[in-house]
Amino acid sequence: MAQAARAWAQSDGEGPDRSGSRPRRPRVPGLGRWGRDPRGRTTWQRGWVVALLAVASALLMVFHSSVPNRVGNLGSLLETFLPWIGLAVPVLLVCALLRRSATALVALLLPVLIWVNLFGGLMSDRSSGGGDLTVLTHNVNAGNADPAGTARDLIASGADVVALEELSAGQLPVYEKQLATAYRYRTVKGTVALWSRYPIKDARAVDIKIGWTRALRAEVDTPHGALAVYVAHLPSVRVKFDAGFTADQRDNSAQALGEAIADEPLERVVLLGDLNGTMNDRSLANITSQMRSAQGAAGDGMGFSWPASFPMARIDQIMTKGVTPTSSWVLPATGSDHLPVAAGLRL
């Protein structure tokens, strides 16, 4: 009996077959165990390529500001979509598991920790509630097929101040007619405009060095005092195979806009607009260095606003100086290729 039990145990519970030999389980070469693979490498000795790719993705996130802009503005392009580098982690995780590599799995901890440190805080709700004023900005798209419907959606938001960018001459009368039902005051300069429930004065165009008017400055007389409001639509950027990230004109405009805001005499300032750049983009530093993002301070989630069909970046901004954001959110899609964004402010 004892001899039969030992024979059973030695056969892994399968028992001998009729020929008296022990059956073997099928194995997939290299995938069966976490021990040595067919080439004799241990789980710590394989998967080095995956591990190096994990370290490289981590280094890109940490040292993104060191990626030069001299060639095709690669630094700005990377910073525009910086959070998406995190997608490398699940891809590399699958590779690490397929390789049964402990080395790769350990290396993956590095980009995970760095991503969480950089962007993890943006995944939570940072709003504090309340606020004295609600502002909204929207690139309405010159090719918008339903400007009247877009205007009605903006009114339904309940915002006190509404900034619009990329207004075409043909669409302007539609917006004026629709928004007049909720906003008594307005000012239009070139392709940007501002509507308000409260009086607007001292409105003027702001020269952002592109040859036509795509920015304005106005003073809104709120119940809590004067507020300087800037509305801007910085030049578009493109990714071209022969030229890279074509952002030079936008960068020059951002420099000019930052200088105008720095010279603003009022202490409380709000910037509303399509900046065609994110808060991470170094080329907007002349603006971001002196203002705070309402989304970063009081948003809920990443707050991506473009493109409307599958938002990948926050290029529509609400930024403040001398004003406290209390909440920030993205509104549902309209007829535009951008999503409207709004914020509550404490004055």
Beta bridge partners of 271: 230, 319
Alpha-carbon distance 337 to 276, whole Å? Answer: 13
Q: Which residue's structure tokens are 């008296």?
A: 20
Beta bridge partners of 227: 220
pLDDT of residue 38: 82
Domains in the chain, start-ordered, CATH in brackets? 48-122 (no CATH), 126-346 (3.60.10.10)
pLDDT of residue 15: 45
Token pair in block for residue 301: 């989630």
pLDDT of residue 130: 85
pLDDT of residue 11: 45
| This prediction's pTM | 0.85
Mean pLDDT by 10 residues, the chain (347 residues): 48 46 49 73 92 97 92 87 96 95 96 96 90 97 97 98 97 97 98 98 97 97 97 86 70 97 98 96 96 96 96 97 97 98 97
pLDDT of residue 23: 52
- What is the DSSP annotation of 118-159? HHGGGGSB------SEEEEEEE--TT-S-HHHHHHHHHHTT-
- What is the DSSP annotation of 66-119? GS-STTTTHHHHHHHTGGGGGGHHHHHHHHHHHHT-HHHHHHHHHHHHHHHHHH
Whether residue 186 contacts residue 193, with contact meaning beta carbons closer than 8 Å, is answered with yes
Q: Among residues 252, 267, 149, which one has the least CA distance to residue 210? A: 252
